[in-house]
A and B are shown apart, each in its own frame.
Chain A
Amino acid sequence: MQKEAAIREPLILGHKTYHDVTEDVCKPIEDKAPRMWYILFTIALIIGLYGVGSICYLLGTGIGVWGLNKTIGWAWDITNFVWWVGIGHAGTLISAVLLLFRQKWRMAINRSAEAMTIFAVFMAGTFPLIHMGRLWVGYWVLPLPNHFGSLWVNFNSPLLWDVFAISTYLSVSLVFWYIGLIPDFATIRDRAKKPVAKRMYSILSFGWSGRAKHWNRFELVSLVLAGLATPLVFSVHSIVSFDFATSVIPGWHTTIFPPYFVAGAVFSGFAMVQTLLLVMRKAMKLEAYIHTKHVEYMNVVIMVTGSIVGTAYITELFISWYSGVEYEAYAFLNRATGPYWWAYWSMMTCNVISPQLMWFRKLRRSLLFTFFISIIVNIGMWFERYVIIVTSIHRDYIPAAWSMHYPSHIDIAVYIGTIGLFFVFFLLFARYFPVLALNEVKTILKGSGQSYKESPDYHKHH
């Protein structure tokens, strides 16, 4: 059993036993869903179906239904793609990077953060796929021998690197998530009373029995997967940033992009985790496991990554002037003072100023304030991508080609639709899956649980 300093705040509040942990996590799955769940699910489903309908219309008509024009060939589609991929960075960061750093607070949040990651990457993947226009030939992005001659996909292109990065990230995250879920499914299986549920969870749990040798392998597999997923997290958003950074468009052609995109991704991902978990802990009565201290830790991550993002914005501005390249200087001046000034300053306010408020202990421990800021950050990070993408290309080299981007209703519908679908997936997850890594939480109960920390025996051992 691991011991930790007595002055550290307990991670599990109240006087929980191992059985209580099982009860608290399994109860919401076994009980009937609350009325609120049905209401939210219906709303999310309607929005999601509206999105699916819009996508079908888009595929039937062509991507001309988007608000793109001759100058602005990339706008909401790629903005949404990068936004969703960014959100998808928190889950694996929490479970992989924090596992390597042995941060025990991750255990209460990693399961739902990983679920969020997977669903967010699903949503992200939708955009490049539908952008192809002909979804049914989407497999052409893979290096397959084809009947048009010896033509292969271009391995020099960052867009192809993205295909590999996103698909690797999605499938490895999925495996990492599922390996952790197996023992927890077994717990639900062994408690299940209804035959259908028992059968379903029996299949899902792969016959897990909790033998000592299996746990031994489980721990190593988790560690090695974490070791593999850590550089993967950083590589994925670096590669997403290469989509822009390797081009010659002023405003995109920037070496600072990879680290700046990764920091931004973690920043937005943690914000989305906060948004979801603050609601979930209340709805599923998990306040003892996900409490102020967890929220505070995540706010510290938001503050740090937000500061990196802020520094990157200012560095970009400085370099655009210092480089002496007038196109570069103009691109940034135009962002701040041109027709998209409102998007730029929304981005600056949401992403640079708001995380700095987290320096105040009172604010970063306030749940209501955290919820508010997490929404602000989500909005700000969407604007960041919009600003980078649209403002850089709406002023072409020839002033005759200058243009503005106005989203069509399909642009908006597809975007809103992915948010709906995301919540459909997340609500299903919250209903049928163990939202807390319950078997992992049990391992820290004695080291970090309140009742154990307060017992007189606790201090004797160290």
Chain B
Amino acid sequence: MADKLIYVMYGDDEVLKNSAKKLVSNGVKIAEVYSPFPIHGIDPIIGVKGTRLGIMAFLYGLTGLTLATIGMHYFMVREWKMNVGGKPNFTYAENMLAFIPVSFEFTVLCAAHGMAITYLLLNRTLPGMPAQNPDPRTTDDKFVMEIRLQDQSISESELDELLKNTGFEELEKKVIK
């Protein structure tokens, strides 16, 4: 079934935010907002949930810490008890202090890289990916709201009426099959 995409372009983040508030309070669903920088406060209005990447970072960090501990335990205590000054490493706990720096560094390494890779995959932003912003100016100074007509409970003319006084600069409609 044919759907219609409506792109409403604004010249200011505050104007877009106010417009989004007005539309949402009238039951309009906003599919996406493209902006050159993060618009603070837009997420709750258009229903974007907070990301859980922070939890992922914690889990990656924990993985790093575990790997570092297992590794150092194997290298220094089990496989080859390195004898430094007649004091071999019999247990991990006795030499724990010497293992803290590497444990810390490896935790940070895994947390940072794990999160960064997850972030890029989730965003589908990888080398060679095509740009998907509807207008090249949205990475400069324009802010675009994307509305899918199919998602709405109101008709196209009603939507046009609502958009009329929101202060947009350009409006583009695109039929997709």
A and B associate in one complex: yes
The residue of chain B having its C-beta at the shortest distance from the C-beta of A442 within the complex is B37
User: Contact between B54 and A224 (Cβ–Cβ < 8 Å)?
Assistant: yes
A-chain residues with CB within 8 Å of residue B53 when the two chains form the complex: 217, 220-221, 224
Contact with B along A120-164 (1 / 0, CB 8 A): 000000000000000000000001000000111111101011001
Answer yes or no: A2 CB below 8 A from chain B CBs.
yes
Interface positions of A from 190 to 242, Cβ below 8 Å from B: 190-191, 202-221, 224-225, 228-229, 231-232, 235, 239, 242
How far apart sit A205 and B128, CA to CA, in the bound complex (Å)?
Answer: 8
Minimum CB–CB distance from B130 to chain A (whole Å) comes to 5
User: Contact between B109 and A172 (Cβ–Cβ < 8 Å)?
Assistant: yes
Binds A, one of B21-29, B77-85, B148-156, B165-173: B77-85
Contact with A along B21-55 (1 / 0, CB 8 A): 00000000000111111111011001010110110
Contact with B along A423-462 (1 / 0, CB 8 A): 0000000000000000110110000000000000000000
How far apart sit A220 and B130, CA to CA, in the bound complex (Å)?
Answer: 24
Answer yes or no: A82 CB below 8 A from chain B CBs.
no
Contact with A along B2-37 (1 / 0, CB 8 A): 000000000001100000000000000000111111
User: Contact between B133 and A190 (Cβ–Cβ < 8 Å)?
Assistant: yes
B-chain residues with CB within 8 Å of residue A172 when the two chains form the complex: 108-109, 112-113
User: Contact between B34 and A211 (Cβ–Cβ < 8 Å)?
Assistant: yes
Minimum CB–CB distance from B9 to chain A (whole Å) comes to 13
A-chain residues with CB within 8 Å of residue B102 when the two chains form the complex: 155, 160-161, 164
Query: How many of A's residues come within 8 Å of B, CB to CB?
Result: 66
Whether A186 touches B98, Cβ cut-off 8 Å, given contacts A208-B131, A215-B35, is: no
User: Contact between A183 and B119 (Cβ–Cβ < 8 Å)?
Assistant: no
Answer yes or no: B86 CB below 8 A from chain A CBs.
no
How far apart sit A187 and B141, CA to CA, in the bound complex (Å)?
Answer: 10
Contact with B along A99-110 (1 / 0, CB 8 A): 000000000000
Minimum CB–CB distance from A183 to chain B (whole Å) comes to 7
Tell me the dominant secondary structure on chain B's binding face: helix
User: Contact between B119 and A217 (Cβ–Cβ < 8 Å)?
Assistant: yes
User: Contact between A164 and B106 (Cβ–Cβ < 8 Å)?
Assistant: yes
User: Contact between A210 and B124 (Cβ–Cβ < 8 Å)?
Assistant: no
B-chain residues with CB within 8 Å of residue A216 when the two chains form the complex: 38, 43, 48, 50-51
Which single member of B82, B108, B136 contacts A232 (CB below 8 Å)? Answer: B108
B-chain residues with CB within 8 Å of residue A158 when the two chains form the complex: 101
User: Contact between A212 and B139 (Cβ–Cβ < 8 Å)?
Assistant: no
Contact with B along A367-399 (1 / 0, CB 8 A): 000000000000000000000000000000000
B-chain residues with CB within 8 Å of residue A232 when the two chains form the complex: 105, 108
Binds B, one of A17-25, A83-91, A330-338: A17-25
How far apart sit A215 and B141, CA to CA, in the bound complex (Å)?
Answer: 15
Answer yes or no: A94 CB below 8 A from chain B CBs.
no
Answer yes or no: B75 CB below 8 A from chain A CBs.
yes
The residue of chain B having its C-beta at the shortest distance from the C-beta of A160 within the complex is B102
Answer yes or no: B120 CB below 8 A from chain A CBs.
yes
Answer yes or no: A245 CB below 8 A from chain B CBs.
no
User: Contact between B40 and A2 (Cβ–Cβ < 8 Å)?
Assistant: yes
User: Contact between A154 and B82 (Cβ–Cβ < 8 Å)?
Assistant: yes
User: Contact between A155 and B75 (Cβ–Cβ < 8 Å)?
Assistant: yes
Whether A190 touches B80, Cβ cut-off 8 Å, given contacts A171-B113, A203-B128, A205-B131, is: no
B-chain residues with CB within 8 Å of residue A224 when the two chains form the complex: 53-54, 57, 111, 115
User: Contact between A221 and B126 (Cβ–Cβ < 8 Å)?
Assistant: no
Which single member of A187, A215, A242 contacts B140 (CB below 8 Å)? Answer: A187
Query: How many of B's residues come within 8 Å of A, CB to CB?
Result: 65
How far apart sit A1 and B71, CA to CA, in the bound complex (Å)?
Answer: 48
Answer yes or no: A279 CB below 8 A from chain B CBs.
no
A-chain residues with CB within 8 Å of residue B50 when the two chains form the complex: 216, 220
B-chain residues with CB within 8 Å of residue A176 when the two chains form the complex: 112
A-chain residues with CB within 8 Å of residue B43 when the two chains form the complex: 212, 216
User: Contact between B75 and A143 (Cβ–Cβ < 8 Å)?
Assistant: yes
User: Contact between B37 and A221 (Cβ–Cβ < 8 Å)?
Assistant: no
User: Contact between A161 and B105 (Cβ–Cβ < 8 Å)?
Assistant: yes
B-chain residues with CB within 8 Å of residue A440 when the two chains form the complex: 37
Minimum CB–CB distance from A304 to chain B (whole Å) comes to 26
The residue of chain A having its C-beta at the shortest distance from the C-beta of B12 within the complex is A18
User: Contact between B140 and A190 (Cβ–Cβ < 8 Å)?
Assistant: yes
Answer yes or no: B104 CB below 8 A from chain A CBs.
yes
How far apart sit A402 and B102, CA to CA, in the bound complex (Å)?
Answer: 36
Whether A165 touches B125, Cβ cut-off 8 Å, given contacts A202-B131, A440-B37, is: no
Minimum CB–CB distance from B106 to chain A (whole Å) comes to 7
Answer yes or no: B138 CB below 8 A from chain A CBs.
yes
User: Contact between A206 and B126 (Cβ–Cβ < 8 Å)?
Assistant: yes
Minimum CB–CB distance from A417 to chain B (whole Å) comes to 29
B-chain residues with CB within 8 Å of residue A153 when the two chains form the complex: 75
How far apart sit A218 and B104, CA to CA, in the bound complex (Å)?
Answer: 25
Other CB < 8 Å A-B pairs besides A1-B14, A212-B43, 20 of them?
A22-B141, A154-B84, A155-B75, A156-B84, A158-B101, A161-B102, A164-B102, A164-B106, A182-B125, A183-B37, A207-B124, A207-B132, A209-B132, A210-B133, A211-B32, A212-B33, A215-B39, A217-B119, A442-B36, A443-B38
18 example contacts (A-B, Cβ-Cβ < 8 A) are as follows A1-B13, A155-B72, A158-B101, A165-B101, A191-B140, A207-B126, A207-B130, A208-B123, A209-B34, A210-B138, A212-B32, A212-B33, A212-B39, A212-B42, A216-B50, A224-B53, A229-B108, A239-B105
> Could you list which residues of chain A lie within 8 angstroms of chain B, going by C-beta atoms?
1-2, 17-19, 22, 143, 150-156, 158, 160-161, 164-165, 167-168, 171-172, 175-176, 179, 182-183, 186-187, 189-191, 202-221, 224-225, 228-229, 231-232, 235, 239, 242, 439-440, 442-443
